[in-house]
Each structure stands twice: as structure tokens, then as C-alpha cells.
């Protein structure tokens, strides 16, 4: 297995054919186990970039290689399965299903990662979820509560549990602290980095809040990474 978690080569992305590329990256790499802070102004393409990295959308040209696999060449179903097994995503709005319980939200993530059936994994998932909740200072009885009845801070931590339940190789985190005060934000960062260390998870953390850069060994500005150019015909 390569020591490189992510490799990008000659990638660009356009919303419509023949329009200017909104993202264009000639070459970029992230090593396994790296903790990277990606920052940039609103509208700089950070969220679109994360969607490309996890295969929700595919580039117009070029290659995105995750753990030695070129994910943009995979059919949709295989790409979705690869994402579920290998990538955890914490969205800015969390994207939890509000009318389901915490347990059901977490179990769904485990279900989508298991193409051979979920029943045999149920106990493993429950035990893993309980451990993660404990690490994040959430009581176990929160598993039986509907997400809509949780505070923003609790929903945020549940989103982390869901993203980590399959012990992903890569964790992508998009602006998760925007609704938190300073003390809650710092506690969140400590918990997140602890769990990434626990699972040896590569972390790409996206935010416009430069005060968070102190938590990371490497910082990348989106404007220096992205060099949009006129798109070619595709």
C-alpha cells in the first residue's frame, strides 16, 4: 500500500461544458495520517472540492486517486460503496435525518458500507458507536433520541460518530464549527483530533476560520491550490 492517501493530477471541474473551470489543480498530494487544514474565503470552492474528493461529483478532466484507486473512473454504485467504506464526511449542516434516532442515523452509515448484509455487524456497530459517544462526552441514552431533539453541539458530535463508525481511512470535515462559541469549538477540535489519532485517520479539515490552523501541522490556502483556467471541450 502506498504511503500517499490522496493524489490529484491535472484535475479540473466545470459546472457546464465549455465554461471556465471553477476548480483546476495541476498536482497535489496528501500523505497517509496527515492532518491538513484547508482554508479560503466563502465561494473559493472548498465545499465543491470536498465533494470531488469523496466522489459525490466527479471531475471534468484529470485524476483523483485515493489509496491507490482512481475513484473518478468507478461506476456510481462502486464509487458510493468505496466512499461508505473508506471516507467519513462531516458536512457543515451535518445532514443527519432529523426524525430518526441517533442509533438509526449511525446504523445507516454502517449499512451502506456493508455490501454483504448488515445483521452480523449489528453488535459490532453498537459497541463501536457506544465507545465513540463516550469519547465525545455524550451519554449512551442519546442513542434512543430523535436527532431533532438534540442541541446543535450534540448533533455535531453525532455527525462525527456517524463519520467515524466505519473507521474510515480519510475524514473530510466541512466548516463544522461555524455555529459554536470559542470554548465549544476548542473542545470539538480536541475531540476530533484525538479520534483521528485513535483510528490513524487522514484528516482534511476545511474552514475559513484561520484561528483553527493552530491545531494542524500543515495549512493550505485554497486560492494557492486552485488555479482556474478556461475549460476545454469535453
- The reported pTM is 0.88
CATH number of 4-225: 3.40.50.300
**Can you tell me the distance from the alpha carbon of 59 to that of 28, in angstroms, rounded to the nearest whole number?**
15
Q: Which residues of the chain have pLDDT under 70?
A: 1-2, 17-18, 115-121, 179, 228-234
Largest CA-CA distance found in the chain, in angstroms, rounded: 55
Domain boundaries, the chain: 4-225
99-155 residue pLDDT tens: 999 999 999 998 888 755 445 567 788 888 999 998 888 999 999 999 999 998 889
Query: What residue ranges in 78-191 does DSSP mark as E strands?
Result: 87-90, 170-174
Amino acid at each position: 500500500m502506498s504511503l500517499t492517501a490522496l493524489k490529484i493530477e491535472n484535475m479540473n471541474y466545470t459546472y457546464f461544458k465549455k465554461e471556465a473551470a471553477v476548480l483546476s489543480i495541476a498536482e497535489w498530494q496528501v500523505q497517509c495520517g496527515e492532518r491538513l487544514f484547508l482554508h479560503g474565503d466563502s465561494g473559493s470552492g472548498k465545499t465543491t472540492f470536498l465533494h470531488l474528493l469523496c466522489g459525490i461529483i466527479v471531475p471534468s478532466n484529470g485524476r483523483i486517486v485515493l489509496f491507490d484507486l482512481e475513484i473518478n473512473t468507478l461506476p456510481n454504485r462502486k464509487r458510493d460503496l468505496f466512499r461508505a467504506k473508506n471516507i467519513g464526511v462531516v458536512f457543515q449542516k451535518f445532514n443527519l435525518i432529523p426524525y430518526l434516532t441517533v442509533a438509526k442515523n449511525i446504523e445507516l452509515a454502517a449499512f451502506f458500507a456493508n455490501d454483504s448484509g448488515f445483521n452480523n455487524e449489528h453488535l459490532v456497530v453498537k459497541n463501536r458507536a457506544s465507545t465513540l459517544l463516550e469519547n465525545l462526552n455524550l451519554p449512551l441514552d442519546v442513542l434512543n433520541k430523535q436527532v431533532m431533539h438534540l442541541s446543535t453541539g450534540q448533533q455535531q458530535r453525532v455527525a462525527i460518530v456517524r463519520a467515524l463508525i466505519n473507521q474510515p481511512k480519510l475524514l473530510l470535515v466541512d466548516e463544522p464549527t461555524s455555529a459554536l462559541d470559542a470554548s465549544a469549538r476548542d473542545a470539538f477540535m480536541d475531540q476530533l483530533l484525538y479520534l483521528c489519532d485513535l483510528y490513524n485517520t487522514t484528516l482534511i479539515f476545511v474552514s475559513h476560520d484561520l484561528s483553527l490552523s493552530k491545531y494542524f501541522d500543515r495549512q493550505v490556502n485554497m486560492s494557492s491550490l486552485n488555479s482556474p483556467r478556461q475549460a476545454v471541450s469535453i
